[in-house]
Amino acid sequence: MKTVFAFSTLPRPSRGNLRRLCAVAVAALALLQLVPDAPAADAGRKPNVVFVFADQWRAQATGFAGDPNVRTPTLDKLATRSVRFGMAVSTCPVCSPYRGSLLTGQYPLTHGVFLNDVCLNNNAVSLAQAFRGAGYRTGYIGKWHVDGHGRSSYIPRERRHGFEFWKVLECTHNYNQSFYYADGDAKLQWEGYDAAAQTREAQRYIREQAGQGPFLLVLSWGPPHDPYLTAPQRFADMYQPDKLKLQPNVPDGTEAVRKKVAGYYAHCSALDDCLGQLWATLRETGIERDTIFVFTSDHGDMLGSHGRFNKQVPYDEAIRVPFLIHWPQLSERERVIAAPFASPDIMPTLLGLCGVEIPKTVEGLDFSKHLRGGPAPGGGAALIACYAPFGQWTRKGGGREYRGVRTERYTYVRSLDGPWLLFDNQADPYQMKNLCDDPQSAALQKELDALLQRKLRETHDDFQPAAKYIEKWHYVTDANGTVRYAP
The whole-angstrom separation of Cα 129 and Cα 138 is 9
Q: Around 165, how many Cα atoms within 13 Å sit in the side-chain half-sphere? A: 19
Catalytic residues: 95, 145
First to last CA, the chain: 73
Q: How buried is residue 369: exposed, middle or buried, by Cβ count under 10 Å (0-12/13-18/19+)?
A: middle
The whole-angstrom separation of Cα 97 and Cα 248 is 30
Which among 67, 122, 470, 8 has a CA at the least distance from the CA of 262? 67
CB 416 within 8 A of CB 401: yes
Which among 86, 97, 64, 93 has a CA at the least distance from the CA of 340? 86
CB 262 within 8 A of CB 224: no
